[in-house]
Amino acid sequence: MTQQLSDPQERFERGLRALAAIDGEAGHKVVDALADIAPDFARYLIEFPFGDIYSRPGLDLRAREIATIAALTAMGNATPQLKVHIEAGLNVGLSRDEVTEIIMQMAVYAGFPAALNGLFAAKEVFAARAP
């Protein structure tokens, strides 16, 4: 299944809508933080991951965030991005228990240190979201 490429402005606008739906304010903070050092890179972050990949049919946002949380946990060196995507997972319907299970699953494939780091990142996100 392929997605027809559209003009750059459509990609950007589609990416902004996806970013808002998935990451909310956290995603916009990342993009805004790049404005003074790499505005082109900020635009690429909106166009490619969100305008092209997250907007594709085939997987819903919940499934995409499961994959992203798992991958970032397994990488073991992307804690800031993992926190953003744990937030995103919660935003698109994952429960705290599901996020925890996704991260625990990564102990099998990425090792206990990566899973521990992921669990501590989740703990911080959960605490920050507590009422």
Quickly list H helices, the chain.
8-22, 24-33, 39-45, 61-75, 79-91, 96-110, 112-129
pLDDT at 6 over 70: no
What's residue 115's pLDDT?
Answer: 98
27-47, pLDDT tens digit by residue? 788 888 998 999 999 999 999
Higher pLDDT, 111 or 26: 111
Q: What is the mean pLDDT of residues 114-128?
A: 98
AA letter at 94: L
pTM exceeds 0.85, yes or no: yes
Q: What is the mean pLDDT of residues 58-84?
A: 96
Q: Contact, 50 vs 60, CB < 8 A?
A: no
